[in-house]
Structure 1
Amino acid sequence: MFLYILILQSCHKNTIDTNMLLGEWEFIQLESKEDEYGITTTYLRSDFKIMKDSLYEENNGFYQNQPLPNNEHYSIYLGQKGKYYITDDSLFVKSIKGKKYFAQKIVKVSKDYLTLYDRDSKLNFQYKRKSVVKPSDVPIDQITLSLAPCFGTCPISSISLDSEGNVYYYGISNTKLEGLYQGKANKIIFTEMVKKLNEIRFLELENNYSQKNVTDLPRLSVSFISNNKIIKSIDDYGYAQPKELKGILNNLIYAWQSAKLNKYEYNLPIIHYGFQPNISMNTSDSFYIQSLLFKAKQSDKEFTSKYRTTAQLILPENFDYEKLDSMDRSISTDGQYFKIQKENKDFVTLDIGFDVISTNKEIFDLHKN
């Protein structure tokens, strides 16, 4: 029996120095002479981080397909955290929430480079070690994010998440959850996002990213708020943003799947755009203002209007889009008080407590360029 155990252990002896794998790895290339189209090992194209205590972090995140009645499916986001173990010369990885391990052979590992072989696709994936960058230390209280239409079935939605875990989610179309919802998410999601945003020094990122000479791709905008001020607003067309940012934002895009949400009855229009005259906004900027209006107090204050816009009521199910103009309502504001036309076309005035347009005029001016 003792001899049998010794033989069994020797068969599973690690041939890789685990300490060599610790750290952050960046995907650099796929070793293949064939067309990459159709290769489904997307998780192997992601940057990742290997830590002590068998902890693993996937930049792109882990996903699980959920079937729908019409023979289609949607993706359930399982987060970025995973577990790993090493046996012989192989690395086994899975999501914390998942059950299945993915195995890759460790072909080569050095101080700066790593090569993994995927047995399913029979391809080598190469990585290089990421250099360590000193993180920034910028406080963030709230993040809003909006997904805009594309030529196809891209989800159209907006979400707001703050440091207390408060969530507002507005699903417009091509998303399982349509309509307006309010609720709570785990505060750890927000805390970890802020930490990672500072690790990539998010304030130093560009304000605009775009795929060149390509049309009909999805657009994303995201706004980072601190003490009622938008400190950074990014617009991305066609997933041109840095992959580090994309990995972080996936936690927000899919936060509605794990949050405890309830339908939020709201008979006022939802702001989608900027204001006239000459106040330009990303959709995520306007959803930040909308999140303030959700919490605003009703007021009898008379004020002089400086800005105006047209917003749209939440569309009911099976809506006849030929009647879309009938859902438009007007909004006028001085930046603090908002006079809003209700569903029945009466008006109500809401006070958000401060002049949000003057506070954020610097950011809004950037969108004009």
Structure 2
Amino acid sequence: MTKLKFIYLIFIPLILGCETEKKSTENNLIGEWSKIEKVEDNDYPPPPPGFNRPFGIGFTEDKIEFFNGFQRYDQDSVTGKRQLNYKGTFTDYKVKNDSIFVLNPFNENWDFKWRIKKQLTDTLILTRNDSTFIKLQRIKEKKSNSFDQIIFSSSGCYGSCPIIDISINNNNKIYFQGEGYVKPLGFYESIIDSIKTDYIFSKFAKANIESLKSDYAVGHTDDESITITFVKNGQIIKTIHDYGNAGPKELIWAYVPIQNLYTQVELDSLANDEPFYPKLHYYTFEKDSQILRLEKSESFFLWTEIKDSKIVNTKFDSKYNIGLRGNYTYWGADPNEKRKHQYELDKIESDGKLFKFSFKDQKSITYDLGYNFIKRNFKESDFKKKTKYD
């Protein structure tokens, strides 16, 4: 055996062994991981809900998903105002020895992110230095998808939180309203690719919607309210009101792609008054001394249904007066002063199926949903006694 052959025989197994170890490490990473929030003895307790965003990541063979997304606010060079710069939730990654490098989506640089300190089947410990550790556990796959439309709404806050409504269905159709502190403002529609739709639906499915409560709230003031309505076969099956991002981490993670979707797709503008939609107000149904107060997302769902319904000349006996409840989470001035209603609204009447919008000095418009919105989505017990605030 020559000396050169001997060297080859020594180093080839070493090279192959290193490559095998690298691939093994990457394969063991594949899956989804959630940070273990545990209060150890003598440690400070974790921040209360709403003050921090739960940390979670996922790995495929070549992509890493940051559940909280890549987003930052940059200064607009023309207006000088802050503008959201959202780069999605996925980017490339690579593993060198025990170090994970991530492709920064803002500057396209490869950034050192973590060193793998310890990895077991269901536990992963990452570190940036010897004193800072992130301990994660593998997320067990759980999916429950019993809806075909999602409506996401945010109320704004004491500050400049975005005020938006967005509806997305399993036919890839979206409606969007930018009401304040977003760009663009106004009403829009779009057809998006099924990959985006499936991703958003899968994020909410992983939150196991059926098991969630209808209300979550933090203990502080001045935060935003997020409401999400889930629809199946045209019927509301659940609405969740979350004040201050107090919901479970899987729900918080599901907010990210849907609330930023408008930055990722082409939007076609719609007229502001087709049909009429109140500024900074939600619909209510009033019957005698009883009132049904719709959540923001439920109001936008009703608007999407009216939007897709027929205009008719049918006369009917009104059963409900439609009132307009103020957005009492947001206390600032109108952030979209440029949006003006074409006609001044006089009143809205309905029997649940037909909705008649009457305007001052203008012909009324009646829309036919084709079904009774109240009977399909609500119970008599959902009507409450009016208060002085109504």
TM-score by length of 2: 0.77
Task: Give yes or no for the alignment of 1:340 onto 2:357.
Answer: yes
CA distance in structure 2 between the aligned counterparts of 1:285 and 1:318, rounded to whole angstroms: 24
SS in 2 for 1:241: coil
Task: Give yes or no for the alignment of 1:350 onto 2:371.
Answer: no
Are residues 255 and 204 of structure 1, via their aligned partners in 2, closer, same or farther at CA, if it must alter by over 3 Å? same
Identify unmatched segments of 5+ residues in structure 1. Answer: none
Task: Give yes or no for the alignment of 1:284 onto 2:284.
Answer: no
CA distance in structure 1 between the aligned counterparts of 2:239 and 2:217, rounded to whole angstroms: 14
The equivalent residue for 1:93 is: 102
CA distance in structure 2 between the aligned counterparts of 1:178 and 1:276, rounded to whole angstroms: 30
CA distance in structure 2 between the aligned counterparts of 1:363 and 1:189, rounded to whole angstroms: 37
CA distance in structure 1 between the aligned counterparts of 2:199 and 2:256, rounded to whole angstroms: 12
Task: Give yes or no for the alignment of 1:118 onto 2:131.
Answer: no
Task: Give yes or no for the alignment of 1:302 onto 2:319.
Answer: no
Contact 1:182 1:262 in 2 (8 A): yes
Q: Give the root-mean-square deviation of aligned CA atoms.
A: 3.8
CA distance in structure 1 between the aligned counterparts of 2:384 and 2:202, rounded to whole angstroms: 27
1:296 maps to a residue whose letter is S
Task: Give yes or no for the alignment of 1:220 onto 2:226.
Answer: yes
CA distance in structure 2 between the aligned counterparts of 1:90 and 1:252, rounded to whole angstroms: 32
The equivalent residue for 1:173 is: 180
SS in 2 for 1:353: coil
SS in 2 for 1:124: strand
Q: Number of residue pairs matched?
A: 351
CA distance in structure 2 between the aligned counterparts of 1:112 and 1:346, rounded to whole angstroms: 65
CA distance in structure 1 between the aligned counterparts of 2:191 and 2:70, rounded to whole angstroms: 22
SS in 2 for 1:341: strand
CA distance in structure 2 between the aligned counterparts of 1:78 and 1:96, rounded to whole angstroms: 7
CA distance in structure 2 between the aligned counterparts of 1:170 and 1:241, rounded to whole angstroms: 24
Are residues 122 and 330 of structure 1, via their aligned partners in 2, closer, same or farther at CA, if it must alter by over 3 Å? farther
Q: CA deviation at 1:72?
A: 4.2
Aligned pairs for 1:131-280 within 5 A = 131-133=140-142, 135-138=143-146, 140-212=147-219, 214-267=220-273, 268-271=275-278, 272-277=282-287, 278-280=291-293
Contact 2:180 2:336 in 1 (8 A): no
Q: CA deviation at 1:341?
A: 2.7
Contact 1:141 1:225 in 2 (8 A): yes
CA distance in structure 2 between the aligned counterparts of 1:143 and 1:249, rounded to whole angstroms: 11
Q: CA deviation at 1:160?
A: 1.2
Contact 1:279 1:364 in 2 (8 A): no
Contact 1:165 1:187 in 2 (8 A): yes
Q: CA deviation at 1:242?
A: 1.4
Q: Percent identity over the alignment? A: 25
Farther-moved stretch of structure 1 (73-82 vs 253-262): 73-82
CA distance in structure 2 between the aligned counterparts of 1:242 and 1:144, rounded to whole angstroms: 18
The equivalent residue for 1:82 is: 91
Q: CA deviation at 1:71?
A: 4.1
1:355 maps to a residue whose letter is N
Alpha-carbon displacement from aligned partner over 1:307-342 (angstroms, at most 9, x marks no partner)? 122359xx896459xx99x96542111111100134
Are residues 182 and 311 of structure 1, via their aligned partners in 2, closer, same or farther at CA, if it must alter by over 3 Å? farther
SS in 2 for 1:230: strand
* Structure with greater Cα Rg: 2
Are residues 317 and 191 of structure 1, via their aligned partners in 2, closer, same or farther at CA, if it must alter by over 3 Å? closer
Identify unmatched segments of 5+ residues in structure 2. Answer: 326-333, 386-390
Q: Match for 1:104 among 98, 110, 114?
A: 114
SS in 2 for 1:60: coil
